[in-house]
Every structure is written in C-alpha cells, then in structure tokens.
Structure 1
Amino acid sequence: MDPQATCPCWGYLSRLQVRTWLEPVVFSTQVASSLYDAGLLLVLHESFGGRVSNHTASPSPRESLEDQGQKAISNFYIIYNIVTGLTPLLPAYILGWLSDRYHRKISICVALLGLLLCRLMLLFKVLWDWPVEVMYVAVALNGLCGGLSAYWAGVIALGSLGSSEGRRSVRLIFIDLMMGLGGFCGSMASGHLFQQMSERAWQGLVLTVCSVSCASFALFYSLLVLKVPESVAKARKALPAVDTVSGTIGTYRSLDPDQPGTQSVVGHPPPGKAKSPRTMIVLLFLGAIIYDVAVVGTVDVMPLFVLRAPLSWNQVQVGYGMAAGYIIFITSFLGVLVFSRCCRDTTMIMIGMVSFGSGAFLLCFVKETYMFYLARGVMLFALIPITTIRSAMSKLIKDSSYGKVFVILQLFLTLAWVVTSTMYNEIYQFTMEKFVGTCFALSSSLSFLAIVPIGIMAYKQTSWLKHADITKT
C-alpha cells in the first residue's frame, strides 16, 4: 500500500530532505521553554512565598499570605512581560529583514542564542541564589536577540517555503504539533525534575540544567545541520499574470487553494475589489490580534489561578496542568487534518475560536481539578486560528516577503500581549477575592468577538469567488 495513502503527513515529509526538517529544532526548543516556564513559576513561588512569610508576621484579615504571594508573583510577571514584549521589537524586525535579504537561518539562530542565554541565567539564579530580579536582565538579553518573535517568524518562513499552498495549513500545524509534543514532554517532567534536589536552596537545579541542554542542542542543530528548503513556489510553473485578451493585470489567489478550480483567477477583478488581498490581510491581522488578546488573558492568569485555593496545586500537579495545555497542539493538528478536507481556512479559524471561547467560559466556574481538565478539553481546537491565519496570509504574499510580514504579525501579537498581560494581571489582582473567573469571562467574550473580522473576510471571499466564476463563464 502507498504510504502516502495511509499517512497524510507522509506526502510532504517524503518530498523534504532530512536536513531541511524543522521538527528537531522546534521540539527541543519547546522542551527547553516548557521546562523554563515551569521552573521560573515554581522558583518564583518558592522565593516570594519565603519573602512574604519572613516579612509578614500577622497578615491582615482580608489578605492572607497566599494572596500576598500571588500578588508578588503577578507584579513580577507584569514587569517581566513588558520587558519580554518590548525589547525584541526593533531587533526582530531587523533580523527578519536580514533573513529575507541574506540567509533564512539568521533570525532562527540569533533568536536561539538569546533563548539559551536566558535559560542559563535561570540556572545561575538557582545555582548561586541570585535575586529573582536578575531574570529581568535575562529576558532583556533574550529580547535583544529577537526573542520568540524572531524565532517563530523564522520557523514559519522556513515551513512556508518548503510546502505547497495546498498543504501549507497541514505543514504549519504539523510544526505546531511538534512544538506541542515538546511542551507536553517538558511539562510532564518539570514537576518531578524540580523536586530532584533535596536541598531547598537548590530545588530546580536539575530542571534548569535539562532546559539549558535542550536549548543548546536546538542552537547547534540549527547552526550545523539545518538546511534551508528550496521554495516549492519557485519549482512550480508560474501563473499567468496578464489577460491575453484584455491586457489587464488580474491574477489573484484565493485563501482556499485546496478547492479544485479556485486556485487562481485570471481576468478582470470585480468592481471595487482590486485591493481584495490587502483587505483580507488586514482582516486576518485584526482577527489574529483580537484572538491573541483573548488567549493571553487566559494563559497568563491560569498559572496563578491553579496555585491558589480552591485548587492549590503542588509542583507535580502544575506540570501536569501545563502538559494538558499542550494536548491542544495534538487535537488541533488532527482537527486541521480533518477540517482541511471539507472546510475553508476561514471556517477552520472560526471553529477554533468557538472552541477556545467555550472552554474559557467554563474556566470561570472551576472549583475542582476535574472541572479544570474538562474546560481544557473543550479547548481542543484552540490552536487552529493563529496557525491557519498565518497559512492564509502566506498565500497572499510573495515568498520573498515572508520574513518581514511574519515578523510584523508577530510583533503586533507581542505588543498586544504586553498590553493585555499587564491589564489582565491587574484585573486578576483586583478581582481574585471577589470573582476569580473575571479574566476568563473577558477572554471568552473577546474570543467570540474575533470571529467578526474572520466572518467578514469569509463573506467577501465567497462573493468575490462567485463573481470570478461568473466572469470565467
């Protein structure tokens, strides 16, 4: 039997040379990141918990030691997230421009160097008991190297280059699947690794060493092994750009090239639709930003939420909870495999937004651990929107502009994340004694709101394709 018929992924994997595979870099980087994220949270919990108990002998009736520790961690993350989001703005754009102009690996390699330095600083903090404020310097160094904005833009650019338009959604979601598997493995192990050292002062040493090791592997693999794939678009025969009858330039690409007979339309564009691709890009940007704001509101508050009553998780349970979030990468991958056969990109995006919004709404009322996992289970397609938006956007731009466009999108998302993270942390501090699910309710509302620009784009796309069919007949 043909392996391509039994495994949907085999078709494009077989066309790629092994050295062009991004999966080892993405997997090892995400293992390092998940270990780092869990380690930083647990180190902060231990550090600020000790500070509060040492400096507060008799807490006020309204404010317990637990709430004071929560506020201290929340305040740390406000500054930490601002530094994380603002420092990469200019470096990431410069790296994206250099990648487009000189070599595609520049943004990935430089960003991975910054990620490695950041993880080394957490190792030194645990090893020599540095103050937690040193992590501000660590994340600033990471940002000056481009941070996740440059890294992820580079990954998406290489993934897009090595895939055809028809299979790009599957290709990019497969990369996300590798990231999810790496995050799942790292998160599952994080709680156990954190407890390996019996001495309280050195708790987390084994975890941070493993994080540094994985980050080092990713950097050296990308430098010495990874090879830039040949552009699939260049290998294909160029589409005609000029109507031989009318002489009018009129080549457009739809957002759903998998649909037979709608891969391109040559001829007169509909009246007032000459800038349809630009309009679609703007709508995609808007939908991505609103949805990302919704996701950030839940993801940033969730670690604090599970550490306090009524859940009050320990280190191992925190790792398992983070691992549950990475299961979404697997279910989203399977969702794209199924939905891409019968749905347009816009439909898949809206399915993912409804999935996340419904799960965030259920989180508002979580009182027991099983309820938390039930809410996370409803979010099984939450990863589809952003990945599919990137895929749809790549079909509207030239491959020579991938680096700049994806960096701009990532920087917009990062700026939105900085503002949202600060806002949500403040809201969480203000409402955690009244209604701790306030942030989740707000995230749910924004997730459903993000459907509006995607729905408008779907309507415009449908009407434009109908007009194109009429023109061709």
Structure 2
Amino acid sequence: MDQASRKSCPETGMMRTWIEPVVASAQVAASFYDAGLLLVVKNYYNLSSFSNHTNTSTPRGASEDAQQKAISNFYIIYNLVVGLTPLLSAYGLGWLSDRYNRKISICVPLLGYLLSRLLLLLKILLDWPVEVMYGAAALAGLSGGFTAFWSGVMALGSLSSSKGRRSVRLIIIDLILGLAGFCGSIASGHLFNLLRVGNRQGVVLAVSSVGCATFAFLYSLFVLKVPEPEVKPSKAFGVVDTVSGTIGTYRTLDPDHPEKRGGVVELPSLGKGEPRKAIIALLFAGAIIYDLAVVGTVDVMPLFVLREPLSWNHVQVGYGMAAGYTIFITSFLGVLVFSRCCRDTTMIMIGMVSFGAGSLLLTFVKETYMFYIARAVMLFALIPITTIRSALSKLIKGSSYGKVFVILQLALALTGVVTSTAFNEIYQLTMDKFTGFCFALSSFLAFLSIIPIGVVACKQGEIAEK
C-alpha cells in the first residue's frame, strides 16, 4: 500500500496495528492445545493403569491414585521445560525487539507455538509416547514461549495508548485473551471426541489448534504493523510522571482530557532516585508472590477435578477451563469501574483478596456447583498483574518496555516453575489426607502478596504529601 493509499484509508492502517486478532487466535489455539494435552495424557496413563489393573489385583482406588501421580509427574517435568527454556531466549528477543522491530518478540514465539501444536497432532496420529510432548514444550520455550510473546504484546499495547488510559488498554487485551480462551475451552471438550482415527481421540481438536496457531503466526508476520507511540504534549499542564492513580482517578490523569484535570494537584516527578527504585522493587515483589499463589492453584486444579469427589469427564473439563477464563471479563469490568474511584494499589489489592478468598473456598469443594462458586469469587483475580504492568510502564521509558516486561515475565516464569514443581509434589503427598491443602496454601500466599502493595500505597501517600 503506497503513501497515498494510506492517507485515503487511515482506518485500514490503524486496524493493522491492532494486536487483538493475534492474541485471540493464539489463545484459541492454546486453549485447544491445553485441553487436548491434558486429555491425551489422561487417556495415555488411563490405558497404562487399566492394563496394570487387569494384570494384577490392584484396587480401583489405588489405580486412580497411581494415575494421578503419573499425570502429576508428567506435568512436573513438562512445566519445568516450559518454564526454564524461555530463560535462554526471552531476554534476547526482548532486546532485539527494543532495538530493531517490536514484532520479533511476537513472531518468533508464535512460530514455536505452531511447531508444538504440530507435535501434539503427530503424537495423536502416530501414537507416539507421551514423553514426546517434552520436546514440544522445549520448542515453544526456546522460541521465547509465553514470556517473550506476552511481553511483546504488552509493549505494543503500551505504545498504542496514552498513560492515562494504559491500564484500560492493557485490560482490554486481557479481555480479548479471556474471551478467546473461554470460547476455545467450551468447544475443546466437544471437539475432542470428533472424528476418531482408530481408537485415537483428539484429532479434530489438534488440527483446530494447528490452524489457529498458523493464522496467528501469518497475521503477525505479514499483516500486523507496529503502532506509532502517542505523543500529546500539553503546554498548559505538566506531565504527571508517576504511578497512575496516585492522586485522583484515571479520568483525571488522562492526558487526552486536560479539561478534567483542573482540580487535581500535580505531583513532582519521582525522578531517578530511591523512591522510584523502591516502588519498582515492591511492585515486582507483589507480582511474584501473587503469581506463586496463582500458579499453585492453576497447576493443581486439573488434577483435582479429574479425581474424586468431582471425577469430571472431558466435556466437564472443557467447561471448567472455560470458567477460569470468565475472570478476564469480570476483571475488565472491574478495572472500568474501580479506575474511576480507586488508585492502582487499591485495585491490585481488591484482585488479590478476590483470588485469595476463591482459593480458600476451593479448599472445601466437594461438589461441582461448589467449584463454580469458588471460581465466581475469583472474579477480579486478573486485575493485580495487569495493573502492576501498567504501573511499571509509567515508571520507565518507552524504549525499555520490551526489556522490563521480559524481566518481569521471566521472574514470573522462574517462580512459576519452582511453584509448579513444589505444589505438584505437595499435592501428591496430601491428596489422600487433605485434597485441598494446596488451595489453602495458595490462599495464604495471595493474602501475603498484599503487604508489598500496601507499602507502595504508603510510599505514594508520602510522595503526595510533599
């Protein structure tokens, strides 16, 4: 498209900067892949335990426990590979995207995703051993994985939004991710049983995942454009260079609406000294501790719903995964409402309390309806990490978004690996005596993560008084 065409069709050029089609298609592919992998692994070890059960006089309960431990051990290794391999490439991709092209940290991980989805399809069609999926995890991780991909997405989202609207802009991207995940998860259980090849299930689901991943990769490579950062200087009003929400609301701090800022007392810049560094460190600490709680719950949950007392089938598994994605919708609505009257730190703490309370309820789940009640209580669980990213973007230069977001994502990935391994081991040790122990531990960590955010709120108050 030449320059004259761009001028005559500005909407087309603007639409090409939207990251949402990439996020939606990649997440549908991920939802299909995650559900397919869990059900394929379950069937694989179910056949193994069934074979052992017919050859021996092992009680059914003992056979189910052995299956649970086998699935748990598979995911311990799988999550280690997924979490550790991005450490080798993600920061480099973030550096390259900052220096050369923002699309690098998006296109390369999507290529790795596509290859891993292909391996799941080949595993089903060729009846390969389930251990081949460790190779799929390694391919995705060495390509940057979710760490590099989501950092690139957040960098593009930050560049295409003003400071006052950035939290809303980033939560909209999260909303698209959640809606896509919800639809993909709802469909996954039904697609899993379509068009069996022999006794192999999941062919249509795996093909659909490959198709969506292919679209995401090709769209990001040939259609997506890097947006120009919005620069709207105002001579009448100074720039508030601090964490959004320190004084007033997102509306009053919105640089696109200066007429609404008349009654707001402006703050001095944090500068480059200790206050800025301390706030960044505390935000990182809050994000990491909170992520420990989230990973601990999310990684144990699939195992929990497969065994008694819930004992879900493949359709119920898909619905359960879809329920988890509804928090993207409710968190989006929460940000829209809370951002008008709350500081960033207040919104973060609301989300942490929401997740902690929901995890505590999961501890005592005995029936399916109780599971969904606990999920409903987690309605604002997505707000903390997204709002922390937005707050960090206010404290750093735009040219450093890629590196800083990658560092945060790598920190979350590394702690996630440790948490996943630890919680899977804890689950194996406690599933007979107290199945919900891991959820209780996650609840404690979620409430613990409020402490560093509370300190940030206090520091913001001190800065506001000066």
TM over 0.5: yes
Q: Distance in 2 between matches of 1:91 and 1:236?
A: 37
Aligned residue number for residue 14 of structure 2: 17
Q: Which secondary structure does the structure 2 equivalent of 1:253 belong to? A: coil
Is 1:214 equivalent to 2:216 in the alignment? no
Residues 1:289 and 2:291 aligned together: no
Q: Distance in 2 between matches of 1:254 and 1:406?
A: 16
Distance between the aligned counterparts of 2:88 and 2:52, measured in 1? 41
C-alpha distance 263-302 of structure 1, shift in aligned 2 (>3 A): farther
Structure 1 counterpart of 2:267, which letter? V
Q: Structure 1 residues 267 and 362 mapped into 2: Cα distance closer, same or farther (>3 Å)?
A: closer
Aligned length: 442
Match of 2:441 in 1: 442
In structure 2, relative to structure 1, the CA distance for the partners of 1:239 and 1:172 (3 Å cut) is: farther
Look up the SS of the partner of 1:158 in the other structure: helix
Instruction: Output the CA distance in 2 between the equivalents of 1:268 and 1:348.
Output: 21
CA drift at 1:60: 4.9
Counterpart CA distance in 2 for 1:311 and 1:238 is 62
Contact 1:356/1:382, CA 8 A, preserved across alignment: yes
Residue of structure 2 in register with 1:204 after alignment: 202
Structure 1 Cα separation of the partners of residues 421 and 91 of structure 2: 23
Cα distance in 1 for residues equivalent to 2:277 and 2:12: 32
Give the match's secondary structure for 2:316.
helix
Name the CA shift for 1:279/1:240 in 2 (closer, same or farther; >3 Å). farther
Q: How does 1:107-186 map to 2 (within 5 A)?
A: 107-186=105-184
Q: Work out the CA distance in 1 between the residues paired with 2:265 and 2:438.
A: 42
Alignment RMSD, CA only? 2.1
**C-alpha separation in 2, matches of 1:189 and 1:160:** 32
Question: 1:272-308 CA distances to partner (integer Å, 9 max, x unpaired)?
Answer: x942111111000000000000000100000010000
Whether 1:79 aligns to 2:68 is: no
2:391 equivalent to 1:392: yes
In 2, the alpha carbon distance for the partners of 1:263 and 1:286 equals 29
Alignment pair present for 1:253 and 2:226: no
Separation in 1, partners of 2:361, 2:269: 49
* Aligned residue number for residue 256 of structure 2: none
User: Closer, same or farther in 2 for the Cα pair 1:336/1:267, shift >3 Å?
Assistant: closer
Work out whether 1:373 is the aligned partner of 2:372. yes
CA distance in 1, matches of 2:235, 2:154: 23
* Cα displacement (A) at 1:198: 3.9
Deviation at 1:54, TM superposition (A): 1.4
Distance, in Å, in 1 between the alignment partners of 2:294 and 2:16 is 34
3-state secondary structure, aligned to 2:89: helix
Distance 1:352 1:231 in 2: 29
Give the deviation of 1:267 after TM superposition: 7.6
The code of the aligned residue for 1:265 comes to: L
State the Cα distance separating 1:32 from its structure 2 match: 0.3
Does structure 1 residue 26 correspond to structure 2 residue 28?
no
Equivalent in the alignment of 2:462: 463
Give 1:262 deviation, angstroms.
5.9
Deviation of 1:252 after TM superposition, in Å, equals: 4.4
Uncovered stretches (5+) of structure 1, i.e. residues with no partner? 1-13, 242-249, 468-473
Shift of 1:197: 2.6
Q: Structure 2 unaligned runs (5+)?
A: 1-10, 253-260
Please give the alpha-carbon distance, in whole angstroms, between the structure 2 residues aligned to 1:263 and 1:112: 45
Q: CA separation in 2, counterparts of 1:97 and 1:131?
A: 37
Deviations 1:154-175 (A, max 9, x none): 0000000000111111000000
Letter in 2 for 1:207: L
Distance change >3 Å, CA 240–CA 67, structure 1 → 2: same
Q: Which residue matches 1:43?
A: 40
Indicate if the aligned counterparts of 2:109 and 2:146 stay in contact, CA closer than 8 A.
yes
2:115 alignment partner, SS class: helix
More deviation, 81-90/258-267: 258-267
Distance 1:63 1:311, change over 3 A: closer
Q: Aligned equivalents of 2:406 and 2:235: distance in 1?
A: 26
- SS state of the match for residue 64, structure 1? helix
Structure 1 stretch displaced more, 38-47 or 199-208: 199-208
Q: Is the contact between residue 355 and residue 381 of structure 1 (CA under 8 Å) also seen in structure 2? A: yes
Deviations 1:156-215 (A, max 9, x none): 000000001111110000000000000001000000000113456320000000000000
Q: Per the alignment, do residues 240 and 330 of structure 1 end up closer, same or farther by CA in structure 2, a change over 3 Å counting?
A: closer
Label 1:239 to 1:80 Cα distance change in 2 as closer, same or farther (>3 A): farther
2:125–2:197 contact (8 Å) kept in structure 1? no
Inter-CA distance 463–262: structure 2 relative to 1 (3 Å threshold):
farther
What corresponds to 2:302 in structure 1? 303
**Cα distance, 1:90 vs structure 2:** 2.4
Quote how far apart the aligned CAs of 1:433 are: 0.3
Contact 1:394 1:402 in 2 (8 A): yes
Distance 1:20 1:263 in 2: 35
Q: Which residue of 1 aligns with 2:451?
A: 452
Return the alpha-carbon distance in structure 2 between the equivalents of residues 457 and 59 of structure 1.
59
SS at the partner of 1:357? helix
User: What residue identity is the alignment partner of 1:383?
Assistant: L
**In 2, are the aligned partners of 1:16 and 1:229 still within 8 Å (CA)?**
no
Matched AA of 1:416: T
Q: Which of 35, 50, 53 is residue 50 of structure 2 equivalent to?
A: 53
Query: How big is each residue's C-alpha offset from its partner over 1:21-45, in whole Å with a ceiling of 9 and x where there is no partner?
Result: 1110001110000100000000000
Preserved contact between residue 149 and residue 407 of structure 1 (Cα < 8 Å): yes
Indicate the percent of aligned positions where both proteins have the same amino acid: 66
- Structure 2 residue 336 is the aligned partner of structure 1 residue 337: yes
Query: Secondary structure, in 3 states, of the residue corresponding to 2:267?
Result: strand
Distance across 2 between alignment mates of 1:410 and 1:262: 34
**Paired residue secondary structure (1:341):** coil
Deviation at 1:66, TM superposition (A): 1.1
- Once the 2 structures are TM-superposed, how far is the Cα of residue 466 of structure 1 from its aligned partner? 1.4
CA contact (8 A) 1:252 1:264 kept: no
